[in-house]
């Protein structure tokens, strides 16, 4: 078990919070809460050790497409593939946008 921290430039904080995903092999649980304007923080707790670079690169690719809202994101990872991580984050952003 490993805990990783990341920080990215962001826009304004949203109003709502969201919890998406699922505890179970190959999946992850993502909690998104409003953060400080301009900053996106991500904490990843993962069962797969030694993958810090992979997470960093994956987040960079996701956030370069669009500036994310200012959030504190908590991720509990159970060995999800990059494709699943991307889907869950998109789902989380969508749910926050709906409030």
Partner 1 sequence: MNAHDLLWGMTPAHLPADAPAWVLEAIGAGHPVVVRRAIAEPGHVAVGVRGRLREQRFAAQMPLPAVQRRVAPEALRGVISPRDLPALRTLDQLRAVLAQESWGVTGSAGFELATGIEALHAQSDLDLILRTPLRLERGDAQDLLAILDTAECAVDLQLQTPFGAVALREWANGSRRVLLKTVSGAHLVVDPWQAVA
Specify the 3-state DSSP secondary structure of 82. Answer: helix
Residues 71-93 as b/e (b if ≥16 CB within 10 A, e otherwise) read bbbbbbbbebeeebbeebbeebb
76 binds partner 1 (CB under 8 A): no
Residue 47 CB, shortest distance to partner 1, in Å, is 6
49 binds partner 1 (CB under 8 A): yes
Nearest to 19 by CA among 84, 83, 93, 79: 93
Residue selected from 47, 57, 67, 97 as contacting partner 1 according to rule CB under 8 A: 47
**Whose Cβ is closer to partner 1: residue 60's or residue 90's?**
90
| Inter-residue contact 5 to 43 (CB < 8 Å) | yes
Residue 9 CB, shortest distance to partner 1, in Å, is 27
The residue ranges that bind partner 1 (CB under 8 A) are 20-27, 47-51, 79, 81, 83-84, 87-88, 90-91
């Amino acid at each position: 078990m490993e805990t990783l921290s990341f920080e990215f430039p962001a826009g304004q904080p949203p109003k709502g919070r969201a919890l998406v995903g699922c505890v179970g092999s190959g999946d992850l649980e993502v909690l998104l809460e409003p953060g400080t304007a301009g900053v996106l923080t991500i904490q990843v707790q993962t069962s797969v050790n030694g993958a810090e670079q992979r997470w960093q690169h994956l987040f960079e690719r996701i956030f370069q497409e669009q500036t994310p809202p200012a959030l504190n994101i908590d991720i509990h990872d159970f060995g999800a593939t990059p494709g699943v991580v991307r889907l869950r984050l998109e789902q989380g952003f969508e749910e926050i946008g709906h409030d």
